[in-house]
Amino acid sequence: MFFTKEKKQQVNKYIVMAKYKSHGSFYVDKQFDKLSSADKYVELMRDSKDNSNLEYFLFEQSKDYNYDEPVESI
């Protein structure tokens, strides 16, 4: 038998979502474990001329409905 240690899964609680200016629907663009990483990513994406038709939004996962505990303690 092989025994492996169970790895603690990293929670990416900062979710950058985007939407086209002419549409109302959001889509997940990228997920991060640090707020500073999400901010830097959006800064770089906004500087890109290819993404001028996109708007970016930050969503923060504050509760995991599968658990009674806050996300920070998982």
Domain assignments of the chain as residue spans, ordered by start: 14-63
51, amino acid identity: N
CB 31 within 8 A of CB 12: yes
Is the pLDDT reported for residue 73 higher than 60? no
| Enclosing H/E stretch for 19 | strand 14-20
Distance (Å, rounded) from C-alpha 5 to C-alpha 69? 23
What is the pTM assigned to this prediction? 0.69
Neighbouring-strand partners of residue 15: 31, 59
> Based on C-alpha coordinates, what's the Rg of the chain?
16
pLDDT in tens, 33-66: 999 999 999 999 988 878 788 999 999 988 778 8
User: Per the structure block, which two tokens stand in for 33?
Assistant: 């474990």
